[in-house]
Amino acid sequence: MNDSADKVDNIIEIRDLCYSRGQKEIFKNLDIDIARGKITAIMGPSGTGKTTLLWLITRQLVPDRGRILVDGKDIATMNQAELYRLRQRMGMLFQNGALLTDYSVFENVAFPLREHTKLPNRLIRHVVLTKLHAVGLRGAADMMPGELSGGMARRVALARAMVMDPEILIYDEPFVGLDPISMGVIVRLVRKMNDALNITSIIVSHDVQEVATVADCSYLISDGHVVASGTPDDLQNTTSDLVRQFMHGMADGPVAFHYSAPDYAEQLLGRDTE
Amino acid sequence: MLKNLYYEFKEFLRQFGALQIFFLRLLKNSPRVLFRRFGLVVQQVYNAGALSLVIIMVCGVFVGGVLGLQGYANLARFNAADSVGAFTAFALLKELGPVITALLFAGRAGTALASEIGLMKATDQLAAMEMMAINPIRRVFVPRFLGGAISMPLLAAVFSAVGLFGAHIVAVNLLGVDSGAFWQQMQAGLDPSDVYEGIVKSVVFGIVASLIAVWEGYNAIPTAEGVGRATTRTVVITAICVLILDFMITAVAI
């Protein structure tokens, strides 16, 4: 693909991204393209900074080096007004939902509408109930976030992320803690929204199976850079040990399950050194 | 040891500088919030002010009552028991009203603010607002800061008024001081400047107490322990700042 085609296709381009937290280098020269209107999955073992990457894309964190282009514009050069305009076009689903605990489910979903628009109450009610219906929680509109289960809170948060009809939807671990029924519904919802509304979706997850059913393209990140990319099928049929280990959930492979530690037998049988 | 002290001092200066920048950001956004989102401020005046009324009034009655008792007992030795009205008014309006209200305010409203904001941070609510393109400074911090800063002088006024009422009950109704003398001595003894001093103090304490509460919440480490620590720090730092500032304002006023 040549350069100009790249620009049209990709809504987000990450180039040479470097980011460290304290002494720990989280990303080293990371390059990722996110295609417009497609579902892109970002996968990787836990602790590889997948969530950090989302925070960098939305400029809640600032990279040490490298560029993140959204629609060809470097987000590092944006002022606050431009950044907020960009964020209005994005919706983000947080890992824990991040619902506002003072407000009811209904008000949580209505919150962005009330803040950004001057729509009449009747219309707001209409929009909010439609979105809640889509996630199956119209009946919970009057409940408070504290009364919801983790999975329900995530679904409400999804309704809130969709309420402004964003162009880009970002999901941080959307499938964790959902029961199989809601998982199926959410997976289909993600797919349907993407196809019907031409939304670009970015999913950060390590649920390989679920991601494989929805994603158009996956990136596997390990050790601060992309180790593999392609369609889920490509990744499934890969020859790389690391990718195979991750995709098939094997304990043995290049990624150690155990955090580096002294020899097991020695530590158990040896004398206390303290 | 010396090196440690140096780093501690540098860290203190860094924090202090950050606090000032935070304060300026609050001030910069205040007019906009006051004019466009006054409802949010009213809500916080209710949270910080109206909900603190009971504790302020109960404490006010008893502090006033103690002043009535002590004032009567000590002034009676000099045959000046009638001056107990002026004595309590001086003590309440100039010192005890603003100072005790500020300390109670830090304990009741300040801790609530700090832990609320700290928990919002810990549960990603502030980040979620940022992502919805809603500025948390305007939506969360400024209304709470203004609500506290507006409530505190009003609470101090209520405290002083209720305190005088408590002193009146003790001195006049229980100990038999003449009611006319009680009020007349107060009127004759007190200057408007004494009242102004109290007003200035309560306004300054209100700004300081709210600023510290909001800042500690904003700066809290987003864990259960971090929020707890932020709450404690709010009370401790507010108490220290209020007492130091009280001394400074009094020194300037006299």
Angle between helices B192-219 and B2-36 (to 10 degrees): 110
Whether A96 sits inside 8 A of B128 (CB atoms) is no
Q: Which residues of chain B neighbour A115 with C-beta distances below 8 Å? A: 132, 134, 139
User: What's the gap in Å between the CA of A238 and the closest CA on chain B?
Assistant: 36
Between B90 and A270, name the one with better pLDDT.
B90
Kindly state the tokens that stand for B55: 């504790």
Q: Judge contact between A52 and A19, C-beta under 8 A.
A: yes
Taking CA–CA distances from A61, the nearest residue in chain B reads B127
**158-217 of A, contacting B, C-beta below 8 A:** 160, 164
Report the SS3 class of residue B66: helix
**A239 pLDDT exceeds 80?**
no
Q: Is B132 on the interface with A (CB under 8 A)?
A: yes
Q: Where does the pLDDT of residue A1 fall: very low under 50, low under 70, confident under 90, or very high at 90 and above? A: very low
Q: Judge contact between B195 and B92, C-beta under 8 A.
A: no
Q: Which residues of chain B neighbour A60 with C-beta distances below 8 Å? A: 127, 130-131
Q: DSSP state, A35?
A: E
Measure the CA–CA gap between B175 and A100, rounded to whole angstroms: 55
User: What's the gap in Å between the CA of B50 and the closest CA on chain A?
Assistant: 18
Report the SS3 class of residue A30: strand
Q: Is B124 on the interface with A (CB under 8 A)?
A: yes
| Percent of the residues in chain A that have a pLDDT greater than 90, as a whole number | 16
Q: Which residue, B150, B147, B156, B222, is CA-closest to B195?
A: B156
What pLDDT, on the 0 to 100 scale, is given for residue A7? 45
User: What's the gap in Å between the CA of A5 and the closest CA on chain B?
Assistant: 29
Q: Report the side by side order of strands in the sheet with A65-70.
A: A24-35, A10-21, A65-70, A73-74
Measure the CA–CA gap between B128 and B121, rounded to whole angstroms: 10
Distances (CA, A) of B239 to A53, B136, B244, B251: 42, 27, 9, 18
Q: Is A94 on the interface with B (CB under 8 A)?
A: yes
B112-127 residues labelled b (16+ CB within 10 A) or e (exposed):
bbbbbbbbbbbbbbbb
Residue B217's contacts (CB-CB under 8 Å, 6 or more residues apart) are B113, B114, B115, B116, B117, B118, B120, B121, B230, B234
Q: Which residue, A57, A33, A18, A44, is CA-closest to A170?
A: A57
Q: Which residue, A185, A233, A177, A197, is CA-closest to A41?
A: A233
What pLDDT, on the 0 to 100 scale, is given for residue A273? 55
Taking CA–CA distances from B120, the nearest residue in chain A reads A100
**A47 pLDDT exceeds 80?**
no
Give rounded-to-5 percent helix, strand, coil for chain A: 40, 25, 35
Q: Is A62 on the interface with B (CB under 8 A)?
A: no
Q: Which residues of chain B neighbour A111 with C-beta distances below 8 Å? A: 132, 134
Give ∠ CA A44-B131-B224 in degrees, rounded to 5: 75
Q: Is B127 on the interface with A (CB under 8 A)?
A: yes
Lowest-confidence segment of A82-96, A168-182, A241-255, B233-247 by average pLDDT = A241-255
Q: Judge contact between A217 and A230, C-beta under 8 A.
A: yes
Segment A111-117 shows an average pLDDT of 91
Report the SS3 class of residue A103: coil
Amino acid at A117: T
Q: Which residues of chain B neighbour A80 with C-beta distances below 8 Å? A: 135
Q: DSSP states of B43-63 as a string?
A: HHHHHHTGGGHHHHHHHHHHH
Q: Is B46 on the interface with A (CB under 8 A)?
A: no
Q: Judge contact between A160 and A107, C-beta under 8 A.
A: no
What pLDDT, on the 0 to 100 scale, is given for residue A26? 86
Whether B133 sits inside 8 A of A88 (CB atoms) is yes
Q: Where does the pLDDT of residue A272 fall: very low under 50, low under 70, confident under 90, or very high at 90 and above? A: low
β pairing state of A65-70 and A73-74: antiparallel
Model confidence pLDDT, tens digit, residues A8-28: 478 888 888 888 888 888 888
CA atoms within 13 A on the CB side of A186: 27
β pairing state of A217-222 and A39-43: parallel
Tens place of pLDDT per residue across chain B (254 aa): 888 999 999 999 999 999 999 999 999 999 999 998 999 999 999 999 999 999 999 999 999 999 999 999 999 899 888 889 999 999 999 999 999 999 999 999 999 999 999 999 998 899 999 889 899 999 999 999 999 999 999 999 999 999 999 999 999 999 988 999 999 999 998 888 899 999 999 999 999 999 999 999 999 998 999 999 999 999 999 999 999 999 999 999 87
Whether B131 sits inside 8 A of A111 (CB atoms) is no
Provide the number of CB pairs (under 8 Å) joining chain A to chain B. Answer: 53
What pLDDT, on the 0 to 100 scale, is given for residue B169? 93
Q: Which residues of chain B neighbour A87 with C-beta distances below 8 Å? A: 130-133
Q: Is A84 on the interface with B (CB under 8 A)?
A: yes
Q: Is B32 on the interface with A (CB under 8 A)?
A: no
Q: Which residues of chain B neighbour A84 with C-beta distances below 8 Å? A: 133, 135
Q: Is B131 on the interface with A (CB under 8 A)?
A: yes
Q: Is A103 on the interface with B (CB under 8 A)?
A: no
Q: Is A90 on the interface with B (CB under 8 A)?
A: yes
User: Rounded to two decimals, what is the model's pTM?
Assistant: 0.86
Q: Is A114 on the interface with B (CB under 8 A)?
A: no
| ipTM greater than cut 0.85 | no
